[in-house]
Amino acid sequence: MKESDWKLFKEIKDRAIDQYCRTALSEFGEIIDNEDQSAHERYLYLYKIINNSNRKMSPLFDGHSRSNAGFQLLAIRREGLADERLVSELSEEFRQETDPSRVKW
């Protein structure tokens, strides 16, 4: 992996995790504020949603290595979390390797 791709990947990943967390927190807030359900029901549902969110988050963001960067960027892009302006600055080769429309998932 080119050094320039690695630097951009780190920035893309940082922005993606921030976006992922903002979206999750918004969803959690909606659950918490839903007065149509009892506090216990909301708690149980929130617990389930947080666990699901953590399972989904793990392959996207856990670990930070050059050997894992391609897979992570592919997953981040597949989830629509990548800053496409930054992605456009990656090398053509790395962009193609991590393009979800080109890779069978």
Q: Does 102 score more than 90 pLDDT? A: no
Q: Please give the torsion angle defined by the CA atoms of residues 57, 60, 64 and 69, in that order, rounded to the nearest 10 degrees.
A: 180
Residues 19-47: tens digit of each pLDDT:
999 999 999 999 999 999 999 999 999 99
Q: What type of residue sits at position 66?
A: R
Say if residue 103's pLDDT is above 90.
Answer: no
pLDDT digits (tens, 9 = 90+) for 75-101: 999 999 999 999 999 999 999 999 999
Q: What is the mean pLDDT of residues 45-59?
A: 95
The full set of domain ranges for the chain reads 3-97
Q: Of all residues in the chain, what percent are helix, strand and coil, respectively (each to 5)?
A: 75, 0, 25
- pLDDT above 80: residue 104: no
The candidate with the shortest Cα–Cα distance to 81, out of 13, 35, 32, is 13
Q: Is the dihedral of CA 49, 53, 54, 55 positive or negative?
A: positive
